[in-house]
């Protein structure tokens, strides 16, 4: 009694063939000409594409942003993930000042337990470094949290200094962990914001103008220099600029072990959306850090995906309703909650604007949306692959359909989407999570949350 | 009635799992839990490694070197290939002056027809450029010969000038072909040789001393500059130096579409083997172009394989007996026939000195010995892959065995091997060619040559 | 009895001050507050600029171009030089095939002897390399000809192969000489010309289109690679492209001892002057090799002068009358004699369009028009400097005057100038050659040719 | 009534000739064949070298180091300078926390007024940034203090954050000032020191081990990135590492306007002088920041001087007696006062170990010890040049003498010298300061302090 998916065009990060896939229990057990047995659930996938369920490397569900809490919690967030063909999310637990990492992890588990519709793992954001935290990095890895995050921005809040970065990097090598970095120079941004405010520059657009590209590039360079000194690998989260990417490439060329992630918003949206200082507050929808950039940056990031300089794609999903939440920042851009939604649309946006526009091919698509993340974050070959023994996490996509992204139809629990009106030339027909059909016929199949916590192996895995 | 290989540890360029493989006719039809039928040939591979048959990107069988003919023809050469786990070879047809490409190809087919024990394809070496040859490049691609070769060395013989390189590169883009380049500056080498001879420097070691590393590096740079001007991809054959590799990497970084190949001899043997000018002729065994290099070059090339700067491995197999053939050059190194044997030992050398020494992992091994070559030269996914629909070209390797390379036991038809006495920690147990067992129990199974000519797709394929 | 120039603003490559200069015999003997003696010639230079006489590093006077001879010989050419503030020219002797260097030098002396109005030296162009020529390089240096030239262009005529380049470079180090290179890839140009002619592309503009920028860049790179191998310094003559300049800079950065020269035409004129294939022959005036380039190239070359990547300026003066000479190439651009006039206008063009446009300052102007050349070519501090002991070669320029360049008023003996109509904001008032007033009040003071042959020291001097 | 120096061999940054120099009042008025008048002071300099008085770009006289005050004040320090051929020093005023720049400058003037034997100027160290300080940068430039300093090291004390650096750089462009940077990453050093202390590593050698090279290199890179963002020039003080230098060169190559300074101690002394953790306190003599480095670093810095990547040399003279002062740090290297003496020996060390060892030539020597500093710091052509109108600051050096550096014979007021026992192959015979003989026959000629405060022009000057 298994599942047999018949006749689809199967894509992995390297292969393309027409064949059947048989899943028993949670695992793929056979590929190719597969015999079915009595009691098997048979899915006819002829004419459809089959690829591994997506892995979103970067979400923030149920996050307390100080003045408000994200619109999406783990339930709505992971339902949206499933609806969008993403079967695994990696969310950020973040240490509060004065807290241990274990406390932070415990709190995160409490938020996610019994709520998730897709599988999930955690990265651990470190904001309050001390000897105890250093010891706990090993505990985290033992708990399957083998990736961490440090912030070079958010001065006075999340930001850590270069000394902490150095010690944490040294420690990461000892425990087999990988640290991701939010790369923007918080010291300089802090100055630019003060200058802006002093000059009465308070509209949403100044969010972008006080976080210029050069400050991402500087931070990327600095992280690589410290990584090189500490002989540690590093991961750059949500890379948004050409300049930062060129630095990353140059770092790789001189031997730094550096990995890059970007997000659909940096590929598809640009800074013009912030509008001008004309009284409109529409730009607040796009207030996120780093901010949207220029068209030239977008092109460079696509090229980075194509050539393998950037390996993974996350959404940095961190949703706030425009009404009532983003509006906290009317009259003061620094009070606008930072972030936007995305987990639901990443897979189809990258297919439609990446593959169909000829920027990447189908194998690269699979690699960039799933396989590379699985490898890097200690989940391969369980996740990110269609092979014997891998989890039965599969997306069946109908390439002949198309539809328009509309916030009113979305599963994620937020009152807008930055991709409103984007035409997506495909339709996700079915999604399997560990062999179980969890999305079908435009609906998340609800007999409750099926997602499991993923205890990940050491990072960077291969 | 098929073949079922049960319970081996399967390796591809990306995967590793324990599973069965079923082949029907010539193709892999199922992977994983596979049911067998009456009449199936069942192979128990428990405890063994299974990976795609090797692709040797660079051989010269049955080559007329002017004063003598290679020791190996297509029969002995491809038997040796099979014995060494290589199921596909790409041999060089070479246009003689005054000849058309079609004549050269016809001649090459005549040498190979009905003689090959493994599958084979051809590259076409162009030495006499003219308008007709330019037109014929399309014919070659139509015949499945989608890769070409030009020589920057061998002044007055094979060498072409930069104008020819430019025109051929422009043409290669039109026809969907890829040109490989022998990168050594023939003009300067010609001078160095004349100076050496004038000074009575005639021992084998002067072969190496008149072909210094800088001249490979210069030629790599020049080819890339011309490629960049012609907007064409290029392939560098038998890369032998760190300097050349660094140039290649720098070229890739600035956007040149350049691919690199190296050979086991440049990874495992070094220039000390040429000895000194002491009357010995032993060094003649290693007279090949480019010559063996330094230990530092070896290390750089291994690093190039590991990091993906070099994608493929060929042997440049071009064997001459030390006795009677190499000896033509006693007293004048310029008369020593250039080349050495290698097709039989590439797969096990790279496994033993690459994988087991920790320089590359098993997936990289598969990529570097087979998958990458298949992709680049228009053979993927027919060759180089274990997937539904791919050819049943498989190697079953027993990792618990070991043996010593000895010329007296080898299949290739030559009186020495440069790897004499090398201990190889593994044993190729069986080899399948398109589903047929062709090597078993240390023997090539002989009911005649089974190899087919491979009409390849356009290059560079992906 | 000397010359005292009083009260001018003196500029050297490093200094600027108001002071007197006293010359006795041919040498400067005192600077600053200078007392005059009875019999002294006193020049009042108040309000004027005084700087070292110019050195034109690149002229071709009295050159036999096969179908015709240059319009200017050493007499008219050096009179024009003096009129333009140039007191030293370095002209090219060029070996004919079959000739020794001594024969070539002897021939050149014969052309120049007793004809020159300014001082002069020779570079030696080598076109027919052999052991005897190699030996003669020492003789040349002994004769004061310490710089040489090799051509990478003009296939089948002046072009030498890489083997010759290598041997000559090795030899140059032994003799203390510097080789200049005409950097264009002649092999590829030869192909492009053949293709153009085959397609009936015969107008002057095709001269430029068959000599694209990438081919200069390639040749610069190749020369530097060979120089690096031979451990020799190299000089790139008439650099015309941004791409070539960037390569040169990159070469310097990696340690190649490479020097660059450019010419006013590459700084001030652009490829639009070739017009289109519309039957006009006006573009023939600008047919020179390398050809005029784009505006972007001009800007890069100015930047190269400013930042010191390019050290010297020559004119490549090689004049042919449009009428009767350039016209030989009507209907076939390959027959148009290559070259144009320039020696008369270099100093004032660089002042007016360099200094006055703010691209370089006065000290850089002195360095680029005179001092650097003197240092590089073994003439410093005799030439190129205003210091005690240096030759009394001085230009007195009135910065308050201005005039229009017109061919009908020029001294050089040719029926056009590429700079016709250019407004020059300055006037050369007087020129001294070794303490003797040779140009005054718009006239070359003629009591016959006063120029001496300069036996130069080894190159590159400092 | 002037001074006439007769017959010396005169060296400037570009020239070398034998000639006389006449000074009237404070200025050079004539060079070359100079007539003397009644009452002139005539100096016979035949056989001697004459060059511009040295400019030491980096001293700390009369500095309060918290637990103790430097051994040298402006009187003993500038007497030592004169004795060593240095006629100008640029000392650091440093703002205390809570202080205005004017207060800091006033305090510095008070320390120096009427005490100095050589001319002097100030840089201003900024440690407490605010809007008032920003405004005062203009006041400083108006006062002739056109160069500033920021510290990336000394966390919690002098160190400023990247936001301050950015604002100060932007401001420096507005006022025409140049900021020098102490480039070591203070955050990471702070961590390394804490770790060392926690592990009981307290000997002098740990001073060096907690300030590794990579942290200078990182800081250089960061400063250049911020400079590039702010479009400002930057000056790197006391560059000590090869890695930092390579970064600087790379920065220049990509267009950052960056200037470098190094010190004799980084050229001539190495880290072996710190000894081991064996109870000795001798290493304390060399405790300075940055610390002494490796032999490889020394070689790179010499090469940097030779090739012009480093333009200036200072001593970072900051002397403490070993007895009683350095000893404060016995048992805790962090308490050792940082710094060492040097102002007295810079000129002769660079001559003896630079020029005489063939690492730089005499003209480079003049440039590196004097001319470049004058140009960069707004003193040219008043200082750093031998030309009409320049100050009569001259050194007469006898190249035939030699002597041994001994602390017991030194003028500087400190109980050791790091160069004890160095043999210097030359002797400074006489020194002139603005036309006045101030050092003669091994003695500072004392009719009281003659040094004047130098109100400098904007920086970077040219």
Write out pLDDT tens, residues A17-31. 999 999 999 999 999
Give the gap in angstroms from C-alpha D229 to the nearest C-alpha of chain C: 21
Chain A within 8 Å of B203 (Cβ-Cβ)? Answer: no
Taking contacts as CB-CB distances below 8 angstroms, the residues of chain D near C387 are 15, 17, 31
CB C347 within 8 A of CB C439: no
The alpha-helical segments, DSSP class H, found in C176-261 are 186-198, 205-209, 213-230, 242-253
What pLDDT sits at residue C80?
98
Residue D42 lies in a domain: no
Paired residues of C90 in beta bridges? C121
Query: What's C82's DSSP letter?
Result: H
Task: Label residue B237 by pLDDT band (50, 70, 90).
Answer: very high
Cβ-contact A341, A411 below 8 angstroms: no
Tokens of B61: 């069988």
Nearest CA in chain A to B257: A307
Question: What gap in Å lies between CA D39 and CA D23, rounded to an integer?
Answer: 13
Instruction: Check residue B320 and give its pLDDT.
Output: 98
Q: Please return the burial class of A140, using the count of CB atoms within 10 Å of its CB with bins 0-12, 13-18 and 19+.
A: buried
Other C-beta atoms closer than 10 Å to the C-beta of A372 total 24
Q: What is the pLDDT of residue C1?
A: 76
Q: Cα dist. B9→B85, B367, B385, D406 in Å?
A: 17, 16, 15, 75
What ipTM was predicted for this assembly?
0.93
The verdict on residue A454 lying in a domain is no
Question: Does any CB of chain B come closer than 8 Å to the CB of residue A18?
Answer: yes
What is the per-residue pLDDT for B43? 96
The set of chains that have 3 or more CB pairs under 8 A with B is A, C
Structure token pair of residue A75: 């339930």
Give the model's confidence band at A461: pLDDT under 50 very low, under 70 low, under 90 confident, else very high.
confident
Is D38 within a domain?
no
Q: Are D120 and D88 in contact (CB under 8 A)?
A: yes
What are the average pLDDT values for consecutive 10-residue runs of chain D, which has 462 residues? Answer: 94 93 96 90 97 98 96 98 98 97 98 98 98 98 98 97 98 98 98 97 97 98 98 98 96 93 98 95 98 98 95 98 97 97 98 98 97 97 96 98 96 98 97 97 88 96 73
Residues B142 and B424 sit within 8 Å (Cβ to Cβ): no
- Please check whether residue A157 touches D, CB under 8 A: no
The verdict on A166 touching D (C-beta cutoff 8 Å) is yes
D224: contact with A, CB 8 A cutoff: no
Q: How far apart are CA B377 and CA D331, in angstroms?
A: 69
- Closest partner CB to B29 (pick from A29, A33, A389): A33
Interhelix angle B101-112/B131-142, rounded to 10 degrees, is 40
- The H or E element containing residue B155 is none
- pLDDT given for residue C461 in this prediction: 83
From A400's Cα to the closest Cα of chain B, the distance in A is: 25
Residue C195 in contact with partner chain D when CB distance is under 8 A: no
| C389/D contact by beta carbon, under 8 A | yes
Residue tagged 């699985």 (tokens): A374
Question: Which of A147, A144, A109, A141 lies closest to A125 in space, CA to CA?
Answer: A147
What is the spatial distance between Cα C292 and Cα C241, in angstroms, rounded to a whole number? 9
Read off the DSSP letter of residue A399.
T
Closest residue by Cα to residue A209 from A334, A356, A72, A77: A334
pLDDT digits (tens, 9 = 90+) for C249-284: 999 988 899 999 999 999 999 999 999 999 999 999
Cβ-defined contact of C14 to D16 (cutoff 8 Å): no
Q: Where residue A440 falls among pLDDT bands split at 50, 70, 90?
A: very high
**Any C CB within 8 A of D14 CB:** yes
**What local confidence, expressed as pLDDT, does residue C462 receive?**
63
Expressed as residue numbers, the domain containing C121 is 53-376
In the predicted structure, residue C105 carries a pLDDT above the cut 80: yes
Element (H, E) at B150: strand B147-151
* Of residues B14, B32, B361, nearest to A29 (C-beta): B32
pLDDT band at residue C92 using 50, 70 and 90 as cut-offs: very high
Q: What is the pLDDT of residue D259?
A: 98
Chains within contact range of chain A (3+ C-beta pairs < 8 Å): B, D
A218 touches chain D (CB under 8 A): yes
CA distance B225 to chain C (A): 6
Cβ-based neighbours of D209, under 8 Å, separated by 6 or more:
D192, D196, D201
Question: What pLDDT shows up at residue B107?
Answer: 97
For the cut 90, the answer to whether the pLDDT of residue B447 exceeds it is: no
Give the pLDDT score at D214. 97
Give the rounded percent of residues in chain A with a pLDDT score beyond 90: 95
Q: Give C53-68 pLDDT, tens digit per residue.
A: 999 999 999 999 999 9
Q: What does the pLDDT average to over C90-117?
A: 97
Q: Is the peptide bond before B460 cis (omega within 30 degrees of 0)?
A: yes
Taking the whole predicted model, whether its pTM rises above 0.90 is answered as: no
**SS3 call for A124:** strand
**Mean pLDDT in residue range C449-458:** 96
Q: CATH number, domain at A326?
A: 3.20.20.140
Give the torsion sign (CA, B154, B156, B161, B165): negative
Distance CA B108, CA D159 (A): 74
What is the average pLDDT across A231-253?
A: 96
pLDDT value, residue D1: 76
DSSP characters over B109-134:
HHHHTTT-SSEEEEEEE--S--HHHH
Residue D346's pLDDT is what? 98
- The reply to whether C402 falls in a domain is no
Q: Is C54 exposed, middle or buried, given 0-12, 13-18 or 19+ CB atoms closer than 10 A?
A: buried
Residue contact A222–D221, C-beta within 8 A: yes
Classify residue C433: in a domain, yes or no: no
pLDDT in tens, B143-186: 999 999 999 999 999 999 999 999 999 999 999 999 999 999 99
- Is there a domain that residue A388 lies in? no
**Residue A46 belongs to some domain of the structure:** no
Q: Give the total number of structural domains in chain D.
A: 1
- pLDDT for residue A462 is more than 70: no
Contact D30 C33 (CB under 8 A): yes
Q: Return d(Cα A21, Cα A6) in angstroms, integer.
A: 7
Q: Residue A13: inside a domain, yes or no? A: no
Q: From the CB of residue C27, how many other CB atoms can be counted at a distance below 10 Å?
A: 18
Instruction: Find, in chain C, the residue whose alpha carbon is nearest to that of D367.
Output: C14
**A and D in touch (3+ CB pairs within 8 angstroms):** yes
Structure tokens, A116: 């998730």
Any CB–CB contact under 8 A between A162 and chain D? yes
Hey, which bits of B237-275 come out as E strands? 258-262
What letter would DSSP give residue D317?
A: B
């Amino acid at each position: 009694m298994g599942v047999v998916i018949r006749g689809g065009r199967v894509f992995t990060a390297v292969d393309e063939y027409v064949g059947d896939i048989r899943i028993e229990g949670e695992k793929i057990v056979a590929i190719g000409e597969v015999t079915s047995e009595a009691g098997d659930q048979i899915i006819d996938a002829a004419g459809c594409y089959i690829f591994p369920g997506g892995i979103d490397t970067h979400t923030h569900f149920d996050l307390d942003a100080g003045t408000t809490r994200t619109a999406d919690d783990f339930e709505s967030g992971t339902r949206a993930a499933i609806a969008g063909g993403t079967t695994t999310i990696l969310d950020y637990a973040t240490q509060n000042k004065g807290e241990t990492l274990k406390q932070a992890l415990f709190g995160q588990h409490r938020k996610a337990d019994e709520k998730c519709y897709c599988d999930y793992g955690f990265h651990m954001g470190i904001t309050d470094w001390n000897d105890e935290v250093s010891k706990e990095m090993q505990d985290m890895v033992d708990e399957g949290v083998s990736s961490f995050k440090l912030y070079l921005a958010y001065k006075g809040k999340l930001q850590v200094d270069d000394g902490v970065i150095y010690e944490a990097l040294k420690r990461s090598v000892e425990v087999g962990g990988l640290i991701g970095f939010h790369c923007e120079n918080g010291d300089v941004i802090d100055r630019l914001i003060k200058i802006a405010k002093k000059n009465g520059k308070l509209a949403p657009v100044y969010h972008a103008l006080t976080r210029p590209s050069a400050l991402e590039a500087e931070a990327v360079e600095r992280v690589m220099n410290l990584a090189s000194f500490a002989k540690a690998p590093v991961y750059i989260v949500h890379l948004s600029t050409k300049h930062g990417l060129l630095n990353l490439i140059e770092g790789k060329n001189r031997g730094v072990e550096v990995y890059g992630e970007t997000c659909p918003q940096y590929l598809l949206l640009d800074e013009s959306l912030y509008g001008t200082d004309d009284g409109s507050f529409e730009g607040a929808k796009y207030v996120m850090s780093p901010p949207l950039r220029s068209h030239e940056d977008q092109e460079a990031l696509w090229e980075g995906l194509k050539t393998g300089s950037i390996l993974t794609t996350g959404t940095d999903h961190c949703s706030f309703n425009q009404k009532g939440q983003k509006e906290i920042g009317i009259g003061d851009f620094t009070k606008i909650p930072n972030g936007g939604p995305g987990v639901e649309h990443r897979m189809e946006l990258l297919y439609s604007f990446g593959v169909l526009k000829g920027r990447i091919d189908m194998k690269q698509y699979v690699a960039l949306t799933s396989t590379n993340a699985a490898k890097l974050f200690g989940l391969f070959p369980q996740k990110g692959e269609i092979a014997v023994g891998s989890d039965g996490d599969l997306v069946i996509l109908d390439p002949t359909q198309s539809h328009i992204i509309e916030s009113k139809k979305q599963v994620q629990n937020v009152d807008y989407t930055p991709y409103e009106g984007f035409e997506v030339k495909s339709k996700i027909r079915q999604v399997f999570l560990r062999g179980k059909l969890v999305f079908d016929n435009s609906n998340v199949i609800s007999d409750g949350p099926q997602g499991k916590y993923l205890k990940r192996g050491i990072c960077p895995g291969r």
